[in-house]
Structure 1
Amino acid sequence: MPVLNDEVPDEGDFDAGRRRGEFDDITPEDFIRGSAGGNPPGWLDAARVGQVRRQVPMVYVEVVPVHTDEFGRIAEIGTLLRVSDDGSVERTLVAGRVLYHESLREAIARNVAKDLGPLALPTLPPNLQPFTVAEFFPTPGLSEFYDARQHAVALCYVVPIAGDCQPQDEALDVEWVDVNGPRLATMLDQMTGGHGRIVQRALAWTE
């Protein structure tokens, strides 16, 4: 596998035969979006991502989308309905990996647009300190957070949404629930893997 830094290889290195200057024309945007000729050198395809997920913890951002009232208080929480890997419908939050050479703010904005559409108009947090860190393990019982696919460390943010949301990518629907209404408890119970606890921590953090 080619390396992503341009060090001078020693004889016998697995990348010793790599052409010098291979990364000279690569920009940060190429690593985030891919290049016209395909993915840039060192980019992981789906099979390799699956392999890495089984061996290395992944860094994620987890977003709690909210509508706020005129005083800036949380009025509604947004959740996604999507089809899980086993074919069932699950309720979850906006979430996604932090890509190579991508800042946390870029990761938040990209994943919001990926799930809620380009007109969601998120207000990105001025401070990148997450309100909590959720450690997802592929083994049930090791943590209150569970993800059968991988070991993931998720930085969690509350993000106000001002625009129009339309489900994108794998999302089937976007639903908003009044935080003071009777449906909140039902929504939390429907969230698997510990995502409901993230919402509870978000509400406690913003009180």
Structure 2
Amino acid sequence: MSRTAVDSEGAWFEPGEMDALRRKLPIPYVDIVPVRTDVDGTIQQVGLLLRASGEGRIVRAIVSGRILVHETIREAITRHVEKDLGPMALPRIPVSPAPFTVAEYFPTPGQSLFTDDRQHAVSLAYIVPVDGECAPQEDALELTWYDVAELRQSSVLEEMEGGHDVIVRRALSFAGAL
């Protein structure tokens, strides 16, 4: 199959097929914590999206999505950052992207710190500095940049579902910002 034959919009399976696969296979994902850094690379701010959850609640979320067939991890990270933060976000993807943690999402609450009622998913989590202009896209209602100190002292992370708060805490800890 040639690379150009792959549907870059993600419709490589019909919705019914994707639902069947989600019941049978772990699905690969990327979780992305967008950050603003100073000139030394120290995280100054974390960008969190505001969106409607599957249950109709308004929640804070990180950038997240599945990896498509024939798509590299770098391409998946870039695609999801652009999809949620806009084409002018200008993400700085490392030359050799290595996740700071791996999150295993289960449809059954309590099986791990991470839940996704649709599927069993294995997600590689990345801290991605963005330098450009960001604006919420697609189903995101808002993008808010939180200072690291504000995140530590507020209840913002409690507004997150499925373990995304754990991903943000792990990202800040990994980067020495906690």
Structure-to-structure mapping, 1:162-177, within 5 angstroms: 162-177=131-146
The structure with the largest alpha-carbon Rg is: 1
Secondary structure of the 1:109 match is helix
TM-score relative to the length of structure 1: 0.80
Find the counterpart in structure 2 of residue 3 from structure 1.
none
**Alignment partner for residue 52 of structure 1, among 1, 15, 21?**
21
Q: Partners of 2:47 and 2:138 in 1: how far apart? A: 16
Q: Alignment RMSD, CA only?
A: 1.5
Which residue, 110, 120, 124 being the options, matches 1:155? Answer: 124
Separation (CA, whole Å) in 2 of partners of 1:118 and 1:193: 27
Secondary structure of 2:76 counterpart: helix
SS of the residue aligned with 2:136? coil
Question: What is the letter of the counterpart of residue 30 of structure 1?
Answer: A
Cα deviation 1:135-183 (Å, max 9, x = unaligned)? 0000011001111111100000000010111111111111110001267
With a CA cutoff of 8 Å and minimum separation of 6, indicate the structure with the bigger relative contact order. 2
Matched, 1:98 2:73: no
Does 2:26 match 1:63?
no
TM-superposed deviation, 1:47: 1.6
CA spacing shift, 1:183–1:172, aligned 2, 3 Å: farther
One-letter amino acid of the structure 1 residue matched with residue 75 of structure 2: E
Contact 1:177 1:183 in 2 (8 A): no
Q: List 4+ stretches of structure 1 deviating above 2 A.
A: 181-185
Query: Where does 1:2-81 land on structure 2 (aligned, <5 Å)?
Result: 23=1, 27-33=2-8, 43-81=12-50
Pick aligned residue for 1:119 from 76, 88, 95 = 88
**Shift of residue 127 of structure 1?**
2.5
C-alpha spacing 1:60/1:203, structure 2 compared with 1 (3 Å): same
Runs of 5+ consecutive residues of structure 2 not aligned to the other structure: none
Q: How does 1:170-189 map to 2 (within 5 A)?
A: 170-181=139-150, 185-189=154-158
The alpha-carbon deviation at position 184 of structure 1 amounts to 5.1
In structure 2, the CA distance between the partners of 1:53 and 1:76, relative to structure 1 (3 Å rule), is same
Match of residue 108, structure 1, among 70, 77, 85: 77
- Which structure shows the higher helix fraction? 2
Deviations 1:12-69 (A, max 9, x none): xxxxxxxxxxx4xxx31331426xxxx6xxx311121111111111000000000001
Instruction: Show structure 1 runs of 5+ residues with no match.
Output: 1-22
TM-score for the superposition, normalised by structure 2: 0.93
Q: Look up the equivalent residue of 1:52 and give its one-letter code.
A: L
Deviations 1:48-95 (A, max 9, x none): 111111111100000000000122100000111111122211111000
Contact residue 177 and residue 184 of structure 1 kept, 8 A: no
Distance in structure 2 (CA, Å) of the matches to 1:139 and 1:192: 14
Does the 8 Å CA contact 1:63/1:94 hold for their aligned counterparts?
A: yes
Contact 2:151 2:157 in 1 (8 A): no
Identity across matched positions, percent:
48
Letter paired with 2:14? D
